[in-house]
């Protein structure tokens, strides 16, 4: 297995709009090892689209062009839809923002995990799949897995739902996990808990993680490296522990505009967007 898990070169995504195409992602290149990579940006910066392009779940009307997109030695640009489908869920998993919308509302959560397991291994006996589902619920620190197994999504709290989602995604031990705002819908106290579970699983199982978020501080606490995106381009790549050394005015602006508990009460500095940030970068 190579050290580089994912390599993307010059990814472009555009959507048809009235009178032409509008570019959503404009030349993103990145590589990921077995590490935690954060992608940060505002809504519309193209961060989620980048993750979705890697999975191959963009809507059919999206125009994608990419020079190179490789996942663990597999050329994704040449891969058949069937192969990509088998990668999804199996070797690549995705955790979405809101468990309320991502779980099937009329199916017990345990059975949803069992379904995920048996899609991966159709010959696995039911009893064995049930056992695995209970074990993975325990692995995401759910105290009473038997009880939670037979609950419906609406009976779960947000944090619990998100842990079920994570359980469903890690149960097949993917090599790559894409987490798209996995904690934005959660309370701060629960957020820390969910993040540490995610951290534990990713580290222990040696996965690569792409963590998409709009929260720069959260990402920097949690990831190894951070990519900052603005208007479909990468403006800066940083080591997470060196966030304060960010040089791009956009990154600095994002850091400055957050209020803090002990911060000054003067008006918050507002991002002054500059047209030059939109220009193509070398």
Partner 1 sequence: MIQVDHLTVNFGPSVAVRDVSFSVTQGESFGLVGESGSGKSTILRTIMGLNPDWSGSIKIDGQDTKSTSRTDLARRAQMVFQDPYASLHPRYVIGQAIAEPMRINKLPDPEKRTVELLDLIGLPGQFRFRFPHELSGGQRQRVAIARALALNPKILLLDEPTSALDVSIQAEILNLLNQLRRELNLTFVIVSHDLAVISYMCDRLMVMRNAEAVETLSREQLRSRDIAQSYTRELIAAS
Q: Is 43 in the site for partner 1 (CB under 8 A)?
A: yes
- Taking alpha carbons only, the member of 187, 248, 190, 184 closest to residue 215 is 184
How many CA atoms are closer than 13 Å to the CA of 137, on its beta-carbon side? 25
From residue 205, give the alpha-carbon distance in Å to each of 33, 170, 200, 243, 274. Answer: 14, 9, 8, 27, 42
Identified binder of partner 1 from the candidate list 4, 86, 102, 192, rule CB under 8 A: 192
Q: How far is the CB of 47 from partner 1 (least distance, A)?
A: 12
Identified binder of partner 1 from the candidate list 29, 31, 157, 196, rule CB under 8 A: 157
Identified binder of partner 1 from the candidate list 190, 205, 224, 240, rule CB under 8 A: 190
Identified binder of partner 1 from the candidate list 260, 275, 276, 282, rule CB under 8 A: 260
Residue 156 is classified by DSSP as S
Q: How far is the CB of 153 from partner 1 (least distance, A)?
A: 16
59: which 2 tokens?
Answer: 């809507």
- Taking alpha carbons only, the member of 31, 4, 21 closest to residue 234 is 31
Identified binder of partner 1 from the candidate list 268, 274, 278, 279, rule CB under 8 A: 268
Give one DSSP letter per residue of 11-74, joined into a string.
Answer: EEEEEEETTEEEEEEEEEEEEE-SSEEEEE--TTSSHHHHHHHHHT-S-TT-EEE-SEEEETTE
Q: Is 20 in the site for partner 1 (CB under 8 A)?
A: no
Site for partner 1 in 239-258 (CB under 8 A): 253-254, 257-258
Q: Which stretch binds partner 1 (CB under 8 A): 61-69, 166-174, 208-216, 236-244?
A: 208-216
Residue 229 is classified by DSSP as E
Q: Is 267 in the site for partner 1 (CB under 8 A)?
A: yes
Q: Is 4 in the site for partner 1 (CB under 8 A)?
A: no
Q: Fill in the per-residue mask, 115 to 154: x = in contact with partner 1 (CB under 8 A), - = not in contact.
A: ----------------------------------------
162: which 2 tokens?
Answer: 């998100």
Q: Is 97 in the site for partner 1 (CB under 8 A)?
A: no
| List of residues contacting partner 1 (CB under 8 A) | 42-43, 157-158, 187-192, 214-216, 253-254, 257-263, 265, 267-271
């Amino acid at each position: 297995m190579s050290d580089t898990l994912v390599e993307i070169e010059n990814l472009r995504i555009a959507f048809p709009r009235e009178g032409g195409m509008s570019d959503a992602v404009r030349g993103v290149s990145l590589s990921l090892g077995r590490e935690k990579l954060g992608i940060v940006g505002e809504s519309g910066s193209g961060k989620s689209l980048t993750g979705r392009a890697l999975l191959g779940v963009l809507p059919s009307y999206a125009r994608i062009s990419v020079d190179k997109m490789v996942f663990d030695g597999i050329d994704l640009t040449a891969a058949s839809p069937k192969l990509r489908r088998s990668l999804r869920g199996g070797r690549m998993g995705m955790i979405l923002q809101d468990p309320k919308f991502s779980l099937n509302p009329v199916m017990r959560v345990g059975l949803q995990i069992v379904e995920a397991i048996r899609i991966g291994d159709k010959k696995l006996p039911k009893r064995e799949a049930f056992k695995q589902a209970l074990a993975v619920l325990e692995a995401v620190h759910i105290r009473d897995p038997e009880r939670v197994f037979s609950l419906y999504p609406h009976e779960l709290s947000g944090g619990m739902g998100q842990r079920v989602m994570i359980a469903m995604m890690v149960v097949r031990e993917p090599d790559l996990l894409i987490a798209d705002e996995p904690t934005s819908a959660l309370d701060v106290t629960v957020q820390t808990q969910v993040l540490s579970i995610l951290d534990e699983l990713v580290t222990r199982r040696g996965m690569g993680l792409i963590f998409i978020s709009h929260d720069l501080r959260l990402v920097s606490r949690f990831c190894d490296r951070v990519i900052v995106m603005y208007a479909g381009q990468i403006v800066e790549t940083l080591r997470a522990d060196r966030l304060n050394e960010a040089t791009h005015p956009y990154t600095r602006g994002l850091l400055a505009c957050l209020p803090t508990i002990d911060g000054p009460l003067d008006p918050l500095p507002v991002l002054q967007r500059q047209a030059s940030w939109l220009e193509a970068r070398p």
